[in-house]
Amino acid sequence: MKGFILAAGFGTRLWPLTEDRTKAAIPFLNRPLINYSVEYLASHGISDIIVNLHHQPESIRVALGDGSKLGVKIEYSLEDEILGTSGALDRVRESLLDDDFVVINGKIVTNIDLGEVIAEHRKQNAIATLVLKRNTALEHFSIVEIDDRDRITRFAGFPDAAFPQAAVAEATVYPGAVVARTDPAPLMFTGIQVLSPRIFEYIPRGCFSHSTIHVYPQTIAAGEALVGHVSAADWYEMSTVSRYLEAHLRLMEGGSVTAGQDCLIQPGASVEQSVLWDGVTVETGASVRIPANAVIERAVVVRRDIARQIERGRVVGENVIVPV
Cα–Cα distance measured from residue 187 to residue 183, given in angstroms and rounded to the nearest whole number: 9
On the question of a cis peptide bond just before residue 164, with omega within 30 degrees of 0, the verdict is no
For 123-169, how does the pLDDT look when each residue is reduced to its tens digit (9 = 90+)? 999 999 999 999 988 888 999 999 999 999 999 988 865 554 434 43
pTM, rounded to two decimals: 0.86
Question: What is the torsional sign of CA 166, 167, 170, 175?
Answer: negative
Contact between 319 and 289 under an 8 Å Cβ cutoff? The reply is yes
Q: Does residue 140 or residue 290 have the better pLDDT? A: 140
Nearest to 134 by CA among 179, 182, 171: 182
For 235-254, how does the pLDDT look when each residue is reduced to its tens digit (9 = 90+)? 999 999 989 988 998 998 76
- Going by their DSSP bridges, the two strands 2-6 and 101-105 should be labelled as parallel
